[in-house]
Amino acid sequence: MALDISTFFVTYFLEMLLISLTKYYHMNFFKPLLTIAVCIPFTLAAQDWENIPVPAKAGSGKVWELQEAASDDFNYIFEATKDSTDFGDKKWYNFYHNGWDGPGTTYWQYDHVSVDGSDLVFNSSRNKSTVKMGVEGINAGCVTGTSRVKYPVFVEASISVADISLASDVWLLSPDDTQEIDIIECYGGADNGNQFFAQFIHLSHHSFIRVPFTDYQPRDANSWWGREGVSSWGEYLWNDGDRKYVQTGVYWISPFHFEYYIDGKLVRVVYNNAFATYKDKENEWSYTYPTMTDGELDFTNGYQTVVEYSKGSTYSFQTLKEASDLSEVEVIDPFKYQSGNGFFKEMDIIINVESQNWHVAAGRTPTNAELNDPSKNIMKVDWLRVYKPVEGTVVGLENDLQEQAIPTIYPIPVNNTLFLEDVATDRYDIITYDLQGQVIDKKQQLFIDGKYRHNTESLSEGVYLLKLVSEKVTHSLKFVVNR
């Protein structure tokens, strides 16, 4: 991740140290140190993902445009609360997108969600109720974005799944609960008989009929994606307390075409009547298509039956298309639950931890000790970003990513005037946030010579985030006010 927890708190400590030194500036012992600290311009990071290119291709004549309203780097504070609450400048609320409180033995709770200044955090704990499935349940967190997305769109999250036998999820769901695309579904912990599922990230989607409830999802073995050397994603990302993060993304290209990315690498494509999957352990691509008998999908050893059309060392859309042309069975919605239209509806972005019924029925559910263990019961999301392809041309950048210098700001801490330099010529919205994510001030300014003087006289002492937002780029710059 671009700004991990340790970096955040080191940065925060230095900022607070500067404030403390300022208060004692009259002491000769601190004068040289403070003079050096204040006079050196600070170049601060923008969004945590700024230096991570969008792995998907926007297409000929197109560039990626960040959807600011739906994207978040979670570099602010939101304290857990027992009330239904919007947070992150109203980008999220701390519950599911309707009144349902969760699948299986899940009880989503408002106060199991927080933001710690660097990450969106989800806790889990024991719920003594036995109303669901006749066993004690799981309290967990769930959030829903307030901005919906629709194809063509790329959605990617940087996530550290819980090291526990619960599902850590980032997904898209239509408001009527009939179309779902899973960006990541991972049962991270290897305890309680979950060793098999812990080694995979599930890359899938669902087509539903609500009444009577009917669910289709691809069930081929390749939808369970594993990485060489990872036997438990929870343990791998927990990393003995020095948490790591995996970037998982979906490019929803059209109603019948999805691409899945893990750590910037294309690993699975679902297109019309065929699948293409990169098998990391075999280091090869497999092109397959499903079969059906008497109107029902065929299964072999518990998995959806597929015919392997081809293998290859690199991805080829042409090969996938050839496999699709050989099949008469759709992979997006083979039973036409969506009336043959594929996935076409706007969708909410949902992030949560949950206890699913099929895992509980098989005994794969956490113990009280595990639910009380912060090394196991917490999922974290470092950032989530959303891009849409728009008309435009980028010269000399193979990743369709606009190259922008990060502005320099000084002095830190600031008294009444903050100076910005190296800002690309453009018209920007200039937005000031406090650490709770609340908008303090917003204005618009045309930058011509790359310089700008930002008045901070009205701000009380503390740490703030300044965002510069243009049609081409967004910069997020942290600064400290001290007098």
Provide the phi-psi class of 12: left if phi over 0, else alpha when psi is between -120 and 50, else beta: alpha
Q: How far apart are the first and last CA of the chain?
A: 33
CA distances from 135 to 30, 57, 100, 187, 370 (A): 61, 47, 19, 20, 17
CA distances from 313 to 208, 276, 284, 287 (A): 35, 12, 5, 11
Q: Name the one residue in this structure whose structure tokens are 């003594």.
A: 128
- Residue 185 annotated among the catalytic residues of the structure: yes
Single out the catalytic residue among 185, 235, 330, 370. 185
Nearest CA-CA partner of 7 in 45, 53, 64: 45
Structure tokens at 49: 């993902």
d(CA 53, CA 49): 8
Give Cα 306 to chain centroid, integer Å.
30
Peptide bond into 212 cis (omega under 30): yes
CA distances from 221 to 303, 307, 433 (A): 6, 12, 46
120, β-bridge pairs: 115, 381
Single out the catalytic residue among 180, 235, 259, 330. 180
- How are beta strands 378-391 and 120-127 bridged, if at all? antiparallel
Catalytic residues: 180, 185
